[in-house]
Amino acid sequence: MGGRGVGPSRRSVLRGVGYGAMGLASANFLAACGTSGTKQSADTCESKDISDTEKKLVFSNWPLYIDEKGKRLPTLEDFEKQSGIDVTYNTDVNDNNQFFAKVRNQLGACESIDRDIIVLTDWMAARMIGLGWIQELDMSEMPNVEANMVDSLRSPSWDSERKHSVPWQSGLTGIAYNSKYTGEISSWEELCTRADLKGKVSMLSEMGDTMGFFLKTTGADPEDFTEDEWATALDRLKEVVDSGQVRRFTGNDYTGPLNKGDLVAAEAWSGDVIIMQYDNPDIKFVVPDEGVSLWSDNMMVPNKADHRANAMKLMDYYYDPEIAARLAAWVNYICPVQGAEEEMAKIDDSLVGNPLIFPTQDDLSTAFQFANLDTKVREQYDKEFNQVIGA
């Protein structure tokens, strides 16, 4: 079909609400949250499933994270028609920690949160699974998921057999720069040290994103590091902050200043960059020499959700390659579904081969994730990180 397909529709919505309103992480809130939560298990917190008698489910997701046409959600409406299941779709996940604070008392007490699917980023998904707050899934009831999930996402350390989670979309964290105002930036070290970039750089207020790169540049493994290695990386961050190299730490509200040239480079999320590139071809995305951070937002069924089977039907529906392509064409993040790129050729051929939506194994050869930390350790590291960045 050619053209830009439905991708610019999301771009237009983002422009309307302002990129800054979409910030995925609030450093101030990270510092404020600190309750570990009460552990549960399948034995201590039993859940029932009434999907056979109630054809409905409640789905909580991030804003602008599904295909939209006005007030319509086409792929979701097609699922309702096909399955006979009525879906209440909420966009009430604006920040991982904020959502955790909203539901932790109920889940910790084995009470319903009135949601059947929640979508959270890897590290928070790991936290909730570790607390025993998430129901186990049955892969035999999700043949599309079992057959079509991309290999790179099949076995995360925190849910190695994907018994509790199914990726909704994935993304990369790397470097974006405005080529109108600066030459190519090839590494994180350059971002931190180049004199011509001083005071014109932003980094992310998501601790795992930013500290993953500082761990890399100080010789540690972001997926498995010691307290001493953490301290060394944190000291390096402080040096960079004190030098004046970084203008600010942001959610994804770096996009406007980067477009205008007020910032010339930024630690950036891949989906934002694709949206920016529709309007501004000077915006470039770089996989730093040190590697690129790979993350996912994951669908899960919380304890006491009454419609687990209905939820699994929806998860499986979105792993049909044709449906996955329709979704990816709108949200512009990495599609977790094998076969979707072939289907994308029928929807928006400009996105076929885009490594920010359909990365190859070579593209991901340097990808890393941030360690799955104990809850108390994570809270301590969040606090130390926020102190350094001035949050």
The DSSP code sequence of 236-293 is: HHHHHHHTT-EEEEESGGGHHHHHHTSSSEEEEEHHHHHHHHHH-TTEEEE--TT-EE
Q: What is the mean pLDDT of residues 337-355?
A: 95
Please indicate, yes or no, whether residues 125 and 273 belong to a single structural domain of this protein.
no
CATH number at residue 93: 3.40.190.10
Please indicate, yes or no, whether residues 134 and 196 belong to a single structural domain of this protein.
no
Please indicate, yes or no, whether residues 200 and 288 belong to a single structural domain of this protein.
yes
266 domain residue, yes or no:
yes
The answer on pLDDT for 329 being more than 60 is: yes
6 or 391: which carries more pLDDT confidence? 391
132 domain residue, yes or no:
yes
Q: What is the mean pLDDT of residues 315-343?
A: 97
Please indicate, yes or no, whether residues 180 and 117 belong to a single structural domain of this protein.
no
pLDDT tens, position by position, 225-256:
999 999 999 999 999 999 999 999 998 789 99
pLDDT tens, position by position, 94-132:
888 889 999 999 999 999 999 999 999 999 999 999 999
Please indicate, yes or no, whether residues 128 and 158 belong to a single structural domain of this protein.
yes
How high is the mean pLDDT of the chain? 90
Based on the structure, what is the number of domains in the chain? 2
14 domain residue, yes or no:
no
Please indicate, yes or no, whether residues 202 and 83 belong to a single structural domain of this protein.
no
Please indicate, yes or no, whether residues 176 and 56 belong to a single structural domain of this protein.
no
Please indicate, yes or no, whether residues 51 and 161 belong to a single structural domain of this protein.
yes
Q: What is the mean pLDDT of residues 139-167?
A: 95
The answer on pLDDT for 41 being more than 70 is: yes
Confidence of residue 374 (pLDDT cuts 50, 70, 90): confident
Please indicate, yes or no, whether residues 303 and 198 belong to a single structural domain of this protein.
no
The answer on pLDDT for 215 being more than 90 is: yes
pLDDT for the residue 34: 41
Domain that holds residue 317: 42-170+296-357
Element at 100 (helix H, strand E) = helix 96-108
Confidence of residue 29 (pLDDT cuts 50, 70, 90): very low
pLDDT for the residue 345: 96
Phi, psi of 362 (to 5 degrees): -65, -40
DSSP-derived 3-state class of residue 233: helix
pLDDT for the residue 147: 98
The answer on pLDDT for 19 being more than 60 is: no
DSSP string, 21-88: GG-S--HHHHHH---------TTTS-----TTT--EEEEE--TT-S--BTTB-HHHHHHHHHH--EEE
Per the CB < 8 A criterion, the answer to whether 328 and 351 are in contact is yes
**174-183, 281-290, 351-360, 371-380: which range is least confident on average?**
371-380
pLDDT for the residue 36: 56
pLDDT for the residue 145: 98
The answer on pLDDT for 14 being more than 50 is: no
Please indicate, yes or no, whether residues 283 and 307 belong to a single structural domain of this protein.
no
* Nearest one of 331, 341, 346 to 75, comparing CA atoms: 331
pLDDT for the residue 376: 87
12 domain residue, yes or no:
no
Bridging pattern class, strands 367-368 and 292-300? parallel
The answer on pLDDT for 21 being more than 90 is: no
Read off the amino acid at residue 297: D
Confidence of residue 17 (pLDDT cuts 50, 70, 90): very low
Q: How many CB atoms lie within 10 A of CB 59?
A: 20
Phi, psi of 157 (to 5 degrees): -60, -30
